[in-house]
Amino acid sequence: MDKKTLRQELRAKLAAIPPQELQRRSAAACQLLCRQEEYARAQTIMIFLSTPHEVDTQTLALQAWADQKTVLAPRVAWDQRRMLPVEIHSLVGGLEEGYLGIRQPVKGLPVPVADIDLLVVPGLGFDEQGNRLGRGRGFYDRFLSHADFRGVACALALEVQVVPAIPVGPSDVGVDMLVTDAKVRRFVRGR
């Protein structure tokens, strides 16, 4: 199956999940991640700010603040086709809705990529080898390829987003671990 068709199928699957069910499953995935050693060791965590039809990172952000961790979110520099990690202190204030309805920090100085211990990665689909299918713009692939990124790349998703195989291209970058509402998978990466 090609990426375009797979994206359509996965978007439809996610859109079919009732909001309350999505919230419950999202909280379960976030809680499972917070029980992992990678989370416990991390002092600086970069999360994605969820759109309405993907796993909600709110539970993770609130727990990270309660655990005295630094929480970052991406600010997209569209002209440079890259993401800038910016510290956030709230999920309501200091954010704006950017291009494609993606929330992002309004302002803030970028934090060095080398400071990120745990990068929580979104995606439409994932497979059992740690490959991910994003939205097709390559922002996370470029970020994960950054020479200074030495942290753990952890995809956060729902179990329904795990598929047998993701088509992989030369610029696609996989993740180190995948946490869903049902289980944790870890992968050996050659980074």
Low-confidence residues in the chain, pLDDT < 50: 191
- For CA atoms 19, 25, 29, 32, the dihedral sign is positive
Write down the pLDDT at residue 171.
86
**Residue ranges with strand state E in 88-176:** 95-97, 103-105, 118-121, 125-126, 132-133, 152-156
H-only helix segments in 16-168: 19-34, 37-41, 58-66, 139-144
Q: How far apart are CA 108 and CA 84, in angstroms?
A: 10
Q: Who's near 182: CB < 8 A, 6+ residues apart? A: 28, 159
- The whole-number pLDDT of residue 189 equals 67
Predicted confidence at residue 190, as pLDDT, reads 52
d(CA 183, CA 180): 5
Encoded tokens for 107? 């302002």
**End-to-end Cα spacing for the chain:** 27
154 near 119, Cβ under 8 Å? yes
Q: Where are the alpha helices (DSSP H) in the chain?
A: 3-15, 19-34, 37-41, 58-66, 139-144
Q: What values do phi and psi take at 77, rounded to 5?
A: -100, 90
Give the pLDDT of residue 32.
98
Q: Which pTM was predicted?
A: 0.93
pLDDT at position 116 is: 98
Three-state DSSP at 87 gives strand
The residue to which tokens 């291209």 are assigned: 169
pLDDT value for 28: 97
